Chain A
Amino acid sequence: MLDQRHIDAFTDMLGAKGTTIDQEAIYPHVREWRDKFIGKAPILLMPSSTEDVRNIVRYCDEHHIAIVPQGGNTGLVGGGIAGLEGRNEVILSTKRLNKHISVDAEDFSVTVDAGVTVSAIQSAAAEHGLLFPLSLASEGSCTAGGIVSTNAGGVHVIRYGTTRALTLGLEAVLPNGEVFSDLSSLRKDNTGYALNQLLIGAEGTLGVITRITFKLYPAEMQKHTFWLGVNTPQDALSLFSSARTASGDRVSVFEILPHTGLEFVLEHIEGTQNPLDTACNWYVLMEVATSAADKLLTESMDDWVAKAFEQGLIKDGAVAQSETQTSAFWKLRESMSEAQKYVGGSIKHDISVPVSKIPAFIEEATALLAEHFPSCRPTPFGHLGDGNLHFNVMQPEGADKAEYLANWEEMNRLIHDLTIKYGGSISAEHGIGTLKREELARTKSNTALSMMKAIKQAIDPKGIMNPGSLF
């Protein structure tokens, strides 16, 4: 248990600005934004340097105090929420670790403190005519440390990869208080185990990431944004393949939305309208982009559109003529989750399967759901281009929300089993946290699980780093 002695020690260590025990100030840090998880913590620690983090971790190591590291608190699996399931944990928020942000334009890299937000990294890169490609709905709040710890995905994975692919080096404080520093921006480095890879996606269970070096790319100067109406996911998949070829592999976004999902958005989100006159079964939001003006790309995409239209793969569509229209298309996509909140209970899955299997998966999952949960409304949407679907299932119209949500685990098992059958993953980009711990144990092989546990044991033998996540 944490007593006054520890609280005084932390306050001495970090000063008045670096700690708070005011429960009102702590509450936003222990509450998951959808209210799915409400935790508790006796104290919130807000270090402002790696040195501060090291002091905290050393103290916690010595006194067996469990730490939950937290970035922007935008996670969806409860991985950053302290005090769940009766655990006694302190929160280590990186929000004051946000001073350092330096772009090396010739190296196409940027080094930032863990608490810097993704949108701040994007802006810093843009000032140098560069792109930090990671982009997701929560980019205004989520942090560098958070996206690395969860290996965040987002909408640009098909072209630029997940956070893992964008991370060149990092610095972290290990559970024993030592600083592991590998902030190099090397593209090639084969010197034994790639230790920084272990910390990426570790959800704060192996240490606290304090600083990161990310890869940058040339900014996208010419961009074509399409909103396409299609009949089936299979047609969308065919379009994705042919667009990759026609564009010289410059498709940077390929998202799919069902008509039901769009209807929820149009009904509940102000200022939205369907860009198309005709309702289609599915919609695709596609972006093709290049770093230099390229007339040939424009012509090639024009030809692609004309051909796909002739073949009947595109039923109707619109092309953004200005950034205002581009934003309007994006608003429809980014409002998908929010709109579902107003419709009622939604049971969520964040799965991935091989891209080629998406159409078959959607079909089989929809049939399976209809059989087990009659009248539920499957609303799968997301990153068709990288095989990741947010397979959300809305409650039947007029059903009782709580009663419906009681099916959460049963439905999860059904969808996850099907995902495994398709060679997929039960958590494509949201991570495990506390939410999917049991599903991880149920679906991973014993070999994989024991390797993971051996790593955890080797690096965090006392189990003080985010003990509620993963296992």
Chain B
Amino acid sequence: MKIMVPVKRVVDYNVKVRVKSDNTGVELANVKMSMNPFDEIAVEEAIRLKEAGKAEEIVVVSVGPKLAQETIRTGLAMGADRGILVEHDGETEPLAVAKTLKAIVTEENPDIVLLGKQAIDGDNNQTGQMLAQLLGWPQGTFASEVAPEDGSLSVTREIDGGLETVKLNLPAVVTTDLRLNEPRYASLPNIMKAKRKPIDMKTPADYGVDMGTRLTVLKVEEPPQREAGIMVESVEDLVSKLKEKGVI
């Protein structure tokens, strides 16, 4: 079995994001970038499937700037086998990415495309679903457990108010949720090995995909600042203040 894992380079989860002064977007200059945490979970799951003897090859794919090679390298250092980078500077909207991934799937013929349910920058939660639709494949989204069976895949999904288990015929698209696993550290021996693993450099043109954006961002703003509170002396004081504000 072959698994393809699309990964995205995003602003590190722990970075406090700041809006650009001209309100056109968020500040990306000199900001720590890392692999989208949901994609990291997808890489980990793929490696676990390989370690369990269920998969033979893991291909990590990214659509993004040249520096996304580092992100792919992280996946390779965790244990994936090779990488493909479709180089594109500028916005990557879910539909264009899904079309690019579809073209790569056609060349690579993976049995599973395993990816994060969403990237923490745009929070779109669309790429996996769009890809499944474009390929006409079954999809198991928000997976908290993935169990391969003979020719099929049992996926436990995190849904409102509980869990749902679906059985997918292969090939299939699976998107990962937080509780699926805890990603491993990239060990030094594996980081060194990863340097020798190949990364194919491609462009959207190689796949005939138009990366043009369909959405226009009008304005990006900081959420309103929380205003300073006041101290009240007594319960009566609190009640009268609340009444004054028309809260009660």
Chain A residues packing against B (C-beta within 8 Å): 129, 221, 223, 227-228, 275-277, 292-293, 302, 305-306, 309, 314, 316-325, 327
For chain B, which range describes its interface: under 10, 10 to 19, 20 to 34, or 35 or more residues?
20 to 34
Which residues from chain B contact A318 at a C-beta distance below 8 Å? Answer: 185-188
Inter-chain contact B14/A323, CB cutoff 8 Å: yes
Main secondary structure of the interface of B (DSSP, over half): mixed
A302 to B30, CA, bound (A): 21
Inter-chain contact A322/B187, CB cutoff 8 Å: no
Asked if B189 is at the interface of the complex by the 8 Å CB criterion, the answer is yes
Inter-chain contact B188/A316, CB cutoff 8 Å: yes
A317 to B190, CA, bound (A): 10
A319 to B74, CA, bound (A): 10
Inter-chain contact A324/B186, CB cutoff 8 Å: no
Given contacts A322-B13, A323-B14, A324-B13, contact A314 B188 (CB under 8 A): yes
Which residues from chain B contact A221 at a C-beta distance below 8 Å? Answer: 30, 32
Inter-chain contact A275/B185, CB cutoff 8 Å: yes
A292 to B29, CA, bound (A): 11
Which residues from chain B contact A320 at a C-beta distance below 8 Å? Answer: 185
Inter-chain contact B188/A321, CB cutoff 8 Å: no
Which residues from chain B contact A277 at a C-beta distance below 8 Å? Answer: 187
A323 to B37, CA, bound (A): 11
Inter-chain contact A324/B189, CB cutoff 8 Å: no
Which residues from chain B contact A293 at a C-beta distance below 8 Å? Answer: 30
B224 to chain A, nearest CB (A): 19
Q: For residue A310, which residue of chain B has the nearest CB? A: B192
A316 to B188, CA, bound (A): 7
Which residues from chain A contact B247 at a C-beta distance below 8 Å? Answer: none
Chain B residues packing against A (C-beta within 8 Å): 12-15, 30, 32, 34-35, 37, 40, 74, 77, 185-189, 191-192, 195
A314 to chain B, nearest CB (A): 7
Inter-chain contact B34/A319, CB cutoff 8 Å: no
Q: For residue B18, which residue of chain A has the nearest CB? A: A127
Given contacts A323-B32, A324-B37, contact A276 B187 (CB under 8 A): yes
A93 to B117, CA, bound (A): 51
Inter-chain contact B12/A322, CB cutoff 8 Å: yes
Which residues from chain B contact A327 at a C-beta distance below 8 Å? Answer: 14
Inter-chain contact A319/B188, CB cutoff 8 Å: yes
Q: For residue A318, which residue of chain B has the nearest CB? A: B185
Inter-chain contact B13/A323, CB cutoff 8 Å: yes
Inter-chain contact B34/A322, CB cutoff 8 Å: yes
Which residues from chain B contact A325 at a C-beta distance below 8 Å? Answer: 185
B109 to chain A, nearest CB (A): 29
A-B contact pairs, 27 of them (CB 8 A): A221-B30, A221-B32, A223-B32, A276-B185, A292-B30, A293-B30, A302-B195, A305-B191, A316-B188, A316-B189, A317-B188, A318-B186, A319-B186, A319-B191, A321-B185, A321-B186, A322-B12, A322-B13, A322-B34, A322-B35, A322-B37, A322-B40, A323-B12, A323-B15, A323-B32, A324-B13, A324-B37
Given contacts A316-B187, A317-B187, A323-B32, contact A309 B192 (CB under 8 A): yes
Which residues from chain B contact A309 at a C-beta distance below 8 Å? Answer: 188-189, 192
A305 to B77, CA, bound (A): 14
Q: For residue A323, which residue of chain B has the nearest CB? A: B14
A70 to B12, CA, bound (A): 38
Which residues from chain A contact B12 at a C-beta distance below 8 Å? Answer: 322-324
Given contacts A275-B185, A316-B187, contact A321 B30 (CB under 8 A): no
A323 to B32, CA, bound (A): 8
A157 to B183, CA, bound (A): 33
B175 to chain A, nearest CB (A): 20
